[in-house]
Structure 1
Amino acid sequence: MKNFIRRRSLILGSAFLISLSASAADGNIDNGQQLSMKGDGSGAPCMACHGPNGEGNAAGNFPYIAGLDEGYLLRQMLAYQTGARTNAVMSMNVDNFDEQQLADIAAYYASLPAPTATAEISDKKQAELGEMLVNNGNWDEYIPACSTCHGPGNRGVDENFPALAGQHAGYIKQQLKAWQNGTRKTDEVQLMEAVAKRLSDEQIDAVAAYLASLPAAK
């Protein structure tokens, strides 16, 4: 019974988070492409870290952003401007853009196809643990499946729950740790923070590795 109540509260929390969704400004894809190549005048252009096609960089823990939800991308860039998300590189590279320019950049990257490359997992035990947590969760430890919020195949649900499939493992680990230690504060109902704090280092490694092995492209 306790597990049922806990599961219900987590799912209701997810539904409440969806209600907090804010409409993004209409973005101009062509202008967004130009801005992504030029930068904001004080920092590096988007493609310097996220690649020429928004595919990211696994070695540098730079996430892929191609094909992610437009509203989600806009919200994250605004969060870097306000300090709700902290990353010295990102904050420096978007601080001179106004909201419309950020909306244009978001529209451009959302229009690109998601990367098709996936990572392989050589550790069978890690793969099995990751698959279990991502697809089924562990309700004995109050850990919901990632797909409960991030949708079928973990390919994202609107601007609140970004696609995780095919995302670079190092970046996923980095963000789960940020939720754990409270340095990422963009979740108004603290759902991700609560889940991340229940994960062990082994579980985080397994979840990140398994998600990175999933195909991002629909």
Structure 2
Amino acid sequence: MSAPSAPPSSLIQALRTETAELHVALEKRLPFFSEQLDIDLYRRLIAAYHGFYQPLERQFQVLALAPTGLDQSLRIKLPVLRMDLMALGLDETAIEALPACQRLPQIDSPAAALGVSYVLEGATLGGQILRRRVAEQLGLDASSGAAFLDVYGELTGRRWKDFLQYLGDRNLGDEQMLEATRAARATFICFERWLDSQEVLL
């Protein structure tokens, strides 16, 4: 008789529960499945993603609080976003001039960094569905402006499982758990507000 699969760790469960409502609310406002999605809106959307990921990834590097034990160099998204923007017609000067988000989630502890990472890594998983939509609607693929939506390629599932395993192995106390979920929620809230300010949401 095979052993039952292990239930999700309390940290993973807490992150899922605490962010579920915010996740659904943001998904409903993203224009990927709207008839309004054209190449111009898509370009502005990727530029807005760049404006959020650039300062956030820089903050991770400066604070040196990124989760240890995971190869963070494999999880940096900014170079791929820049590559997409260039494929969509922006040059280096235009990319450097893009606005950057000033109101970021506070990353003031390793637990908070885990919470932020949970949202960013989850977004890479969701990108698989968006990638197919963008291919159908706009005819774009990884070489013509949609690489970010498939940033891990065939390794997407494996890296998500590795990340969940990493979270499952963390033994956090109640206070650290609260820090992680608070940071995850803040990431969704800051991201939605930023995309709103860039006028790319429905």
Q: What TM-score do you get using the length of structure 1 for normalisation?
A: 0.27
| Higher helix residue share | 2
Q: What TM-score do you get using the length of structure 2 for normalisation?
A: 0.29
